[in-house]
Chain A
Amino acid sequence: MIEDIRALARELLEKGAVKCVIGYEVGPTGRVRPAFVYEPGEVERLIFDGRCDQNLVTYLTRRNKPRKKGEEVPTTAVVVKPCDARSLRVLLNEHQVQRDKVYIIGVACHGMQNADGTPELRCTRCDQRVPLLYDALCGEPPEVLAVRDAYEDVQQIEALPLEERLAYWLGELDRCIRCYACRQACPTCFCSVCEAERDDSLWVGIADRIPEKAFFHIIRAFHQAGRCTECNACEAVCPMGIPLSLINRKIAKDVAQMMGGYRAGESEEPTPLVTMLTGEEAIDEIH
């Protein structure tokens, strides 16, 4: 599989079909990190294995903004796992990325692993082995084994009494240091001026205290409603280990339940939160 990716990257760069290939490499400390390859001679840096869990689609929105007015957007090839492909579908639906400026190197996914070799929790819930969209596919898709109940942990929180839920979330969100790593890592969080960082603090101040921190996380999650593809990038980069995916996946679960089984990034439909009623919704009763 690695040889396929390298050969394809070399071919694309030599032909001049793309300016840059975004993939994975092993950094100096031995950890896997994103790699930006501009020269055909450098493709040997690229790797792909069970440690490549970053969502590289995040970099595409920034590359889509030319530095100078009128400058052409560079064509980029990107290594995309099935979960990342859903993020990319969302960005294409929202016209944040131009399809003809992206070459999608799809990889058949065997699931990602934690440092100790156990499968990542999110991968045990996933049944996609081949990306939904790609220009070239590398690797052989493995069989889908038993998939774990996707919302087991969300249901555990839902089952707690109300006061305990509030205490749980205040405790978790209080650890936030407002480093905004979750926002930076999120492929669908692409506003050029973030509401949480505005000088005039229109909605939320920049203080490092629980009301502002809770406000930031709730609003950030709500902005991803029907757009979050549960790629877990936010939770993976959180230095304080806040279970952010529990908020995002709660919303994803409710969106699917209320809006006719909608799942972000699986169709060309934008999030139902911005579209008209279709009559298929099962929205909670209005009083």
Chain B
Amino acid sequence: MSGDGFEPRIVAFLCNWCSYAGADTAGVSRLELPPNILPVRVMCSGRVSAEMVLKALLSGADGVLVLGCHIGDCHYGSGNHRTVKRIPLLRRLMTYMGIEPDRLRLDWVSGAEAGHFAKITTEFVEAVRALGPLSLPLREDLDTG
């Protein structure tokens, strides 16, 4: 698609109750979505640990997207209260260690917000495309079992 041939690989952690449904709605509505997204369904965005984000980045992802229910709408009440603290903290730590913070993004998508899902994914893919491939040493043969 793009001239230089770099297509970012994005791992998207979608919460089962809102964002995965939102992605589904976007598909059903036949909205145009970037093909770079690899969705991973999790039961709650609060399940997305620093391990998951790091492993995705070290295993070849150029960016990680975490989508959950809006604050107050969490299926479990307060799962996303943890996410909203954890992911920004991880972004700061990543920056400190020398990885661009814009490779990790947290946002909220409800089951009905198909347009919002399409907008976020498109924006994020373009942002990561602008950053270029993530180059970490030895990432291709990371032994993660």
- List the interface of chain A (C-beta within 8 A of B): 157-158, 162-170, 195, 200-205, 207, 209-212, 214-215, 218-219, 221-222, 225, 247, 250-251, 254-255, 258-259, 272-277, 281, 283-284, 286-287
Contacts and interface: CB of A to CB of B under 8 A. Distances in A.
Interface in B115-139: 120, 123, 136-139
28 contacts: A162-B99, A162-B100, A165-B98, A166-B97, A169-B98, A200-B145, A201-B144, A202-B145, A204-B51, A204-B55, A205-B142, A205-B145, A210-B138, A211-B139, A212-B143, A215-B55, A218-B54, A222-B89, A247-B96, A247-B97, A251-B93, A258-B85, A277-B81, A283-B88, A284-B91, A286-B84, A287-B105, A287-B123
Contacts of A195: 51
B32 interface: no
B50 A218 contact: yes
Interface of B: 50-51, 54-55, 58, 71, 78, 81-82, 84-86, 88-93, 95-100, 105-108, 120, 123, 136-139, 142-145
Given A201-B143, A219-B50, A284-B92, 11 more contacts: A162-B99, A166-B97, A201-B145, A205-B145, A207-B143, A247-B97, A250-B93, A258-B89, A275-B81, A277-B85, A281-B85
A151 to B, nearest CB: 12
A286 B108 contact: yes
Contacts of A281: 85
Given A195-B51, A201-B143, A205-B143, A218 B97 contact: yes
B40 to A, nearest CB: 14
The 5 closest A-B pairs by CB, nearest first: A166-B98, A201-B145, A205-B143, A165-B98, A284-B88
Contacts of A163: 98
A276 B89 contact: no
Nearest to A250: B96
Contacts of B51: 195, 203-204, 219
B137 A259 contact: no
Chain A interface SS verdict (over half): helix
Contact of A210 (B50, B71, B81, B137): B137
A148 B90 CA distance: 27
A203 B57 CA distance: 12
B143 A283 contact: no
A222 B84 contact: no
Please indicate which of the listed interface residues B71, B88, B107 has the most CB atoms of chain A within 10 Å of its own CB. Answer: B88
Contacts of B145: 200-202, 205
A204 B100 contact: no
Contact of A205 (B86, B89, B144): B144
A87 B72 CA distance: 33
Nearest to A169: B97
Nearest to B88: A284
